[in-house]
Amino acid sequence: MNIYEYFKDRETYIPEVRVKKYMFQLLQALDCMHKNRIFHRDIKPENILLKGDDIKLADFGSCKGFGGRDKLHTEYVSTRWYRSPECLLTKGSYDYKMDIWGVGCVFYEILSLQPLFPGKNEIDQVHLIHKILGTPSMRIFQRFKKTPNKEFEFKFKAFKGTGLR
């Protein structure tokens, strides 16, 4: 089964020691991929297979190599709820670090049994991220302006951020 099937109908939390084991294995898989200059681009619970205490990263259909001359990637990648801000706000200006963002979202979901950023669309997704993490400074948004960005202007309501607690 995939890890989503394992936790979707649970009424009790998964023991932390087991979650640590899963996350360690997932990060080992990503480390191997990244060392070989490949990024997954679609980290989500449905792409993490579970058998006993062992997990395996699956669905390599969106994988791409990195480190070459091609700095822009396809715009639509990753399932929205696990998509990093640079994927949401630019037209393909992202890199392997988006996998780490996805891992963080999966980690939260496995611990809490609910998604961290269940956005209804891309704008709502960015809004949810800002509500929890805070709205980035204009200095951060200026970095996005140097990349090919989406059609919307970087004007977001300012949130201090609630944190994950």
Rg (CA), the chain: 16
pLDDT for residue 30 is more than 80? yes
The domain limits of the chain are: 3-114
42 is catalytic: yes
Identify whether the C-beta of residue 105 lies closer than 8 Å to the C-beta of residue 117: yes
- In this prediction, residue 158 carries a pLDDT of 81
Express each pLDDT in 57-85 by its tens digit.
Answer: 999 877 778 776 655 455 556 688 998 88
Candidates 9, 31, 42, 70; catalytic one: 42
Check residue 62 and report its DSSP letter. T
pTM above 0.75, yes or no: yes
Express each pLDDT in 86-134 by its tens digit.
Answer: 878 776 667 788 899 999 999 999 999 999 999 999 889 989 999 999 9
Topology at the third CATH level for domain 3-114: Transferase(Phosphotransferase); domain 1 (1.10.510)
pLDDT for residue 162 is more than 70? yes
Half-sphere exposure of residue 114: CA atoms within 13 angstroms, side-chain side: 6
